[in-house]
Amino acid sequence: MKIAIPAEDKNIESNVSQTFGRTNYFIIYDMEAKQMETLDNSAIASQGGAGIKAAQLVLDNGVQVLIAPQCGQNAADVLAEGDIKIYASIEGTVKANIDAYTAGKLVIMNDIHAGYHGGK
């Protein structure tokens, strides 16, 4: 099973990025193989809909779990449709979050942001 985590840097000791759609990188961690790979987030330059594009990227990489500090409504819709579970990240590194997830200490995210849709 694969986990995706938005990360500030390209290594497992990097901090979790505070945004999902506009994170620099994603770290994809394979629980069984205990291997990680990094993805450049191609959504970062998007004018709008970055969350959807980032969610598409995660989906296309065969991920089943996303661990992130927050997630917008559109991205959450894409992920839900793709049967990807979203867990709320804890403060600290990507590694700390993977460990916490493995230990069953993370909780499912339930406050999804309505996001900015041009309104006030």
Partner 1 sequence: MKIAVLSGKGGTGKTLVSVNLAAAAGQAVYADCDVEEPNGELFFKSKKLKSEAVKIKIPQVDVNKCNGCRACVDFCKFNALAYIKNRVFVFEELCHSCGACMLLCTQQAITEREKNIGQIEYGQSNGVAVCTGIMNVGEASGVPIIKQLLAKINQYDNGDKFIDCPPGSACTAMESIKDADYCVLVAESTVFGLHNLKMIYKLVSFFSKKFGVILNKYDKTIDNPIEKFCQQKDIKILGRIPYDEKIAQINTAGLILVRTATEYEIMFKQLLQTITKEIKNETAIDS
Total of residues contacting partner 1 (CB under 8 A): 20
Question: Cβ 38 to partner 1, closest distance in Å?
Answer: 22
Query: Can you tell me which of 34, 108, 111, 120 binds partner 1, judged by CB under 8 A?
Result: 120
Distances in Å between the alpha carbon of 31 and those of 39, 42, 71, 78, 99? 17, 24, 23, 23, 11
In this chain, which stretch among 8-16, 42-50, 88-96, 104-112 interacts with partner 1, using CB under 8 A? 42-50
Query: Can you tell me which of 52, 67, 71, 94 binds partner 1, judged by CB under 8 A?
Result: 52
CA distance 5 to 105: 16
Residue 99 region, left (φ>0) first, then alpha (ψ -120 to 50), else beta?
alpha
Beta bridge partners of 7: 16, 25
Check binding of 4 to partner 1 (CB under 8 A): no
Can you give the binding site for partner 1, defined by CB under 8 A?
43, 46-50, 52-53, 55-56, 59, 74, 77-78, 81-82, 117-120
